[in-house]
A and B are shown apart, each in its own frame.
Chain A
Amino acid sequence: MPIITFIRPDSRAERIEAESGESAMLAATKHGLDGIVAECGGNAMCATCHVYVDDQWIGRLAAMGDEEDALLDGTASQRQPNSRLSCQIKITPELDGLVLRLPERQI
């Protein structure tokens, strides 16, 4: 199973086993990771599953849609060029080792 590493704002890291096909958000919430709130349950409506994708990985993710792009303008923590919504990142075997940083705030 692909492993995702989430890094908290205070640099503590958590490695989570994800299932191929599920979203990074679902993998995180299933493991009870604080820091991904996911109020809308992955329906791309709330922007509370915001992550900063590690520079090494940002180019390897599928491009974002217009909806995600618009939502990212409303994140609680500042949007950066590497900002994504974790519910829109679909885990595939190629993403084994993915590193995602959590923002200070989701709300």
Chain B
Amino acid sequence: MSAANIPASHGGGAPAVNSSPGIPGLDVDPFAIEFFEDPFPTHEALREAGPVVHLDKWNVYAVARYAEVYAVLNDPLTFCSSRGVGLSDFAKEKPWRPQSIILEADPPAHTRNRAVLSKVLSPAVMKQLRDGFAAAAEAKVDALLVRGSFDAVADLAEAYPMSVFPDAMGLKQEGRDHLLPYAGLVFNAFGPPNELRQSAIERSAPHQAYVAEQCQRENLAPGGFGACIHDRADAGDITAAEAPLLVRSLLSAGIDTTVNGIGAAIYCLARFPEEFSRLRRDPSLARNAFEEAVRFESPVQTFFRTTTREVEIGGCRIGEGEKVLMFLGAANRDPRRWSDPDRYDITRKTSGHVGFGGGVHMCVGQLVARLEGEVMLAALARKVAGIEITGPIKRRYNNTLRGLESLPVTFTPA
């Protein structure tokens, strides 16, 4: 562990910060390239430093233990989302794009908008999608087996969601190549004003224009998620002006997340061949193997909240109007909650992990993510005998998402 990770007490040489007494200040930047390369030692240092810590560099509080992350997620009125779930405080700074009416909203407004997306992405809807998603996964794996060697990020983790999700949304064919850059931008924008965020926003105009256009009713095929959202406006659940914003939420959060989720699962199965063997022996474990990959890698690493009042958490006082960063990835490996947390175990009881968040904002697209992950891993389990990493892996850097840029692999057929 580097000296940078050791909690320092306040006052010393550090710049003046407004953390309360008893809350350790850490000189850690969880939005730096070195951190992205290997966040785990820092996660541990954050958990060990205390139930609440202060990140001096960005002047925010942070929680990295499961219990406190859970507590923050489950008290949305104290730890609000309407002032932004990134570092930027919407009470002080104009959001870079019009504020989300679900992710960046609080009850009761959130409740109403959320109900619409829950209906559009319900278990009953998933039943109708299942066969088509499964067939596409099988076809994808067959095609990759013919190739033998390929990049598991571009050719699988990206290619598969891109082959099913835009169609399920009802998007037109042209312009779909804007989707991943747009999502990369959205998730970078939750971070601090670092190079990743600034350069993403500078290059955002064409992607934003594409997405704004596709959110309009006339560009969404009947029967897709997008059209279903507009139908809820006809039914009076939301206004016609709100429908495009809810479509935008799915275009922002519905694709790069599953790319990194599926990428995480492939990377786990390639690194832990014993787990892949267990999956091959019992393909019905596919769904849990995906869920465990979401816990283990936490493709969505962090989100912020803002305090609406002075609050005590983990025995520490935090004032009103403070940003609090939740380390979902650190909570998902907290030894206080998980036995053998650094082990990828496809039979683990994963219920309760916070990879999809928790409480009222818990991922509304989780059933879509699980469906994609499950059918893909089930196809691998039946058709592939071995996954071998055959070249150097490259990490992709994003202020919120954790995943790879490149994962060269070879598949051996079963």
Q: Which of A's residues lie within 8 Å of B, judged by CB?
A: 29, 32, 37-41, 43, 45-47, 67, 70-71, 73-75, 107
Contact = CB atoms under 8 A, between A and B. Distances in A.
A75 B367 CA distance: 12
B366 A74 contact: no
Contacts, number: 51
Contact of B123 (A29, A37, A43, A75): A75
A73 B125 CA distance: 10
B127 A41 contact: no
Contacts of B351: 29, 37-39, 41
Interface in B341-371: 349-353, 356, 358-360, 362, 364, 366-367, 370
14 contacts: A29-B351, A39-B351, A40-B356, A40-B362, A43-B360, A43-B362, A45-B367, A46-B123, A46-B367, A67-B115, A70-B118, A73-B124, A74-B122, A107-B287
Given A43-B359, A73-B123, A74-B123, 19 more contacts: A37-B351, A39-B370, A41-B353, A41-B362, A43-B358, A43-B360, A45-B118, A45-B362, A47-B123, A67-B118, A70-B119, A70-B124, A71-B123, A73-B122, A74-B122, A74-B124, A74-B125, A74-B126, A107-B287
Interface residues of B, number: 25
B291 interface: yes
Contacts of B119: 70
B241 to A, nearest CB: 25
Interface string B302-340: 000000000000000000000000000000000000000
A21 to B, nearest CB: 14
Nearest to B350: A39
Task: Describe B's contact surface by its main secondary structure.
Answer: helix
Contacts of A40: 356, 362, 366
A39 B350 CA distance: 8
Interface of B: 115, 118-119, 122-127, 287, 291, 349-353, 356, 358-360, 362, 364, 366-367, 370
A67 B116 CA distance: 11
A67 B122 CA distance: 10
| Shortest beta-carbon contacts, A-B, top 3 | A74-B123, A74-B124, A38-B351
Given A46-B367, A107-B287, A41 B123 contact: no
B398 to A, nearest CB: 25
A43 B350 CA distance: 14
Contacts of B115: 67
A71 to B, nearest CB: 6
Nearest to A32: B349
Contact of B358 (A29, A39, A41, A107): A41
A89 to B, nearest CB: 16
Nearest to A38: B351
A39 to B, nearest CB: 7
Contact of A41 (B287, B352, B364, B370): B352
A37 B287 CA distance: 11
